Chain A
Amino acid sequence: MAESYSDTPTTTDESTRNRLLNDETLRRIGVAIAGLFTLAVGVFLAYIVFFRVDPALLVQVVYPQFTDAFLTVLRVVVIGSVCSVAAGVVVGLGRVSRTRFTRTVATGYIEFFRGTPLLFQLIVIFFGIPALWPPGEFPIGNFAFVAAVIGLTLNHAAYIGEAIRGGIEAVPSGQMEAARSLGLSYIQSMREVVLPQAWRNALAAIGNDQVILVKDTSLLTVIAVPELISAFRDVNSTNFDPWTPIVLVAIAYLMITIPLGKIVSYLERRADPAGRSES
């Protein structure tokens, strides 16, 4: 943009003189804001780490308590991730079904699970479902973990389903026609031709959703899953020291979300063989 303006000297001179903000000034303001922000965050973090975090307490709670909480979250995330993507593909296929009934059911599913809070859905599953049995007879032990996986799967399958639907609709209809005209069935055409391309189209949205899924595990504290927020509350209420566990919680979440982002961008690169983006 800058070049194209400087190609027309009269207007450039005019606008540089008349405007308060020219390109160079804008750049300097940007650097200044970023610098101030970095400084403020750095000072704050240094203060927290050196004056508020209690090293003795940190060592005491990092293992086993926070390690266990971290591993619990990781387990929920891995299982929830796989299940929600698998279920999301089913929902997405339902959304593009040629049968109106199937389409309507898939749409209704998405409306419900996107239209009510995940916290509400977790409450329905964890408190509502066992209450359908006579007291003490509900058959699933450690139901909190199971309910967590089910809740996250059902909720995120709705979002992933929409991402997959968008991905499928972005594949030109000629792709399905070419596959069908070779004699491939609808399922074969979907699997071999349409879905691999739809997957590539939907990958950024799916990755985004999976990062949100990681953070959504914080809601599991209300259904008694021993995850990171619960660990924070335990440590804070017994030691009256919020900052030591806060730092651990932050590190634990970032240890999952940052590698997850890397995995998604690796998958995006892998799904894009040479020259493909041009066609």
Chain B
Amino acid sequence: MNSDSSTDTDADADSGTDAGSSTDTTGTASASHLVEFEHVDKYFGETHVLKDVTLDVDDREVLVVIGPSGSGKSTLLRCANRLEEIQSGEIRLGGQSISASDADVNRLRQRIGMVFQSFNLFPHKSALENVTLGPRKVKGLSGEDATERARDLLERVGLAEQAESYPGQLSGGQQQRVAIARALAMDPQVMLFDEVTSALDPELVGEVLEVMRDLAEEGMTMLVVTHEMGFAREVGDRIVLMADGRLVEDTTPRRFFDQPDTERGQRFLQRLL
């Protein structure tokens, strides 16, 4: 992925470095932080779902977010590409604010790939058309270029044979892999995974995690909300535990699974075992 984005998408790379230098003047971002949450607060009506969340994700880092349901993990992810608005604080990608009211959301979202729990494939389009839609409409690629690239991506997620199938003809695991290919087609700098295996039958979870593991090995920056502790332990570079809208623990997988620093972490682990 990284070699791709450095060669193929000069425009994106340019805007990334521009943004980086512009924030250097304000002195907020260090160059290696790709995604930054700074004192983020988020409310749903009266409910305070994210409480003063500050978190940095480095380039090429795989950050796994875990925590009990309702702790705000998914909301955190959805704020990162502004599917949800935040009430205070700031979220930046490559130093560029995505939470600012004047942020060019459509442009910034191209650099953030998102994969959803419920796949959200476009049911009226074939797997191939699902993958080509973004590149054709947003990046203005020709049909041929987009198709060629999409076929490569589908092959990479092991679905070359299913290119012409419609989502309704694919298994959940296959649909989710198409969804990953669809997100990758935009050459994102960071991928967000929102409980992407939670809606799958147990026997289909492995094929999706395998694709994600490959991505991580290729150096993709990833924010992963998951309940798959095996994946968190093996693939994660860093683990963040959320509870009641707060980050309660930020550590390495080894350390977290051996001996969590906090009492919250210990209780969470105990419940899993």
Contacts and interface: CB of A to CB of B under 8 A. Distances in A.
Contacts of B107: 183
A185 interface: yes
Interface residues of B, number: 30
Contacts of B114: 178, 181
Contacts of B123: 197, 276, 279
B2 interface: no
A225 to B, nearest CB: 39
Contact of A183 (B120, B124, B138, B166): B138
Contacts of B72: none
A200 B137 contact: no
Interface stretch (A68-76, A188-196, A235-243): A188-196
B138 A182 contact: yes
B106 interface: yes
Contact of B168 (A174, A185, A192, A276): A276
Contacts of B137: 184, 188, 192
Given A274-B168, A274-B169, A275-B169, A197 B109 contact: no
Contacts of A178: 114, 116, 120-122, 179, 182
Nearest to A196: B124
Interface string B101-117: 00000110110111010
Nearest to A191: B137
Interface string A194-220: 001100100000000000000000000
Contacts of A277: 168
B81 interface: yes
A224 B165 CA distance: 54
Nearest to A173: B120
Interface in A153-194: 172, 174-175, 177-185, 188, 192-193
B186 A183 contact: yes
B133 interface: yes
Given A174-B120, A175-B122, A192-B137, A181 B169 contact: no
B116 A174 contact: yes
Interface in B145-180: 165-169, 179
A273 interface: yes
B81 A181 contact: yes
A200 B165 CA distance: 19
A192 B136 CA distance: 11
Interface of A: 172, 174-175, 177-185, 188, 192-193, 196-197, 200, 271, 273-279
